[in-house]
Amino acid sequence: MINIERLKQRFTMLAQIDSISKEEAGIAAKLEDILTQMGAEVFIDSAGEKIGGNCGNLIAKFKGNKAVSPIMLSGHMDTVEPGKGVKVLFKDGIFTSDGTTILGSDDKSALAIILEVMDIVNENALPCPPVEVVFTVCEEIGLKGAKNFDLSMIDSKIGYILDSTDTEGIVTKAPAANRFVIKVYGKDAHAGASPEKGINAILVASKAIAKLELGRIDHETTCNIGTIEGGKATNIVPDLVTIHGEARSHDEAKLKAITDHILNTFYSTAEELKKKLGSDSLPKIEIELEHDFPATNIPEDHVVVKLAKQAAKNLGKEMQCKTIGGGADSNIFFGKGIVTGVLGTGMTDVHTVRESVKLDDMVNTTLLLLEILKIHALGIMGITKTDSDKNGNCCCKNNSKAGDI
């Protein structure tokens, strides 16, 4: 039933269309053309205008042939760099780049799989629920497409995002995250002639950082200082240091606690040095805090998990629930009321020039999605439209009480 050659050629074609973050217009146009020819109703939202990109999120609606609740299938169109001029190689059933760029299987393997699924459904008149395809922009630079997605354009309350490696796992738990930018202000002076007249912002920042525990805090919580920028020359006492960092946790209370600890450490360190120096105003701390994305926590008895597990079982496989430390569009959709499990396509070594994906893994994920759609369309598990909506809404409301952002 799967047209393996079509899947192979379509992935190759998509991977070779440049689409780094904020420059997805070319691949969106190609996808719009393909989806329109399939009979879908296709839209582009206004997310691109809001984030300074040349394209918004692409939404394609298929009516389906069964009166059940709609289901969302999603992946992201953008890639990381080096992602221009990709040349796809295929050998022994494995896709790679030529080694000078990434491959882009993250996440173009998802795009190709979803297109193949809908082609197969149409060609074989398979049982199918209403399907709402959502291909997002700017996932790689902060989930910006999903954050600015116009939720009024779709009706789905459940769905699946293809953006992981494991083809026999469904991501049901992912952490919430905070990002912060800390600016440490000191006072400039000549480092050789009169250093005592200055206040070294790098020194202030380093004293604060030395008090922090970074990395893994516990099994649910991590934090990191990612970049430090400051100073103008070796003979000038630096008057400004800018620090970028993040904190993540599966527990909202822990996330707040570790974030507060980091920020308060910088404030208290500055206050200690003010007293020591007899200064009223410097050193000074300014902080920008962004709630980057909410946690995902899908119960194992949720319809999204049950569908995936039953589909895998029907194919002679076992689907395991997975907990990860990263974020994805699913975090944002979950926070907006759409419960989305993350499925794998087999992609490996993503974000590197060694990236690869096996065609067989893409075929297996295609089969899994087809089975999920069939089970949902036929109501084999007794899932009605009301059950699906209720299950989705209930889960998200519970998450909101835990500090959803």
Q: Which of 107, 116, 119, 139 is catalytic?
A: 139
Looking at this protein, which amino acid is placed at residue 157? K
Omega before 129 within 30 of 0, i.e. cis = no
Question: Could you identify the residue written with the tokens 């009979």?
Answer: 39
Q: Which of 32, 78, 106, 355 is catalytic?
A: 78
Q: What does the alpha-carbon distance between residue 397 and residue 338 come to, in Å, rounded to a whole number?
A: 11
**Contact yes or no for 20/86 (Cβ under 8 A):** no
Residue 255 CB partners (closer than 8 Å, separation 6+): 175, 176, 177, 178, 221, 247, 248, 249, 403
Q: Please list, residue by residue across 145-174, b when 16 or more beta carbons sit within 10 angstroms of its beta carbon and e when fewer do.
A: bbbbbeeeebebbbbbbbbbbbbbbbbbeb
**Contact yes or no for 111/30 (Cβ under 8 A):** no
**Contact yes or no for 124/51 (Cβ under 8 A):** no
The answer to whether 33 is a known catalytic residue is: no
Instruction: Find, among 188, 10, 197, the residue nearest to 111 by Cα.
Output: 10
φ/ψ of residue 315, rounded to 5: -95, 10
The answer to whether 139 is a known catalytic residue is: yes
Q: What does the alpha-carbon distance between residue 28 and residue 78 come to, in Å, rounded to a whole number?
A: 10
Strand partners, 169: 320
Question: Could you identify the residue written with the tokens 């009223």?
Answer: 280
What are the residue numbers of the active site? 78, 139
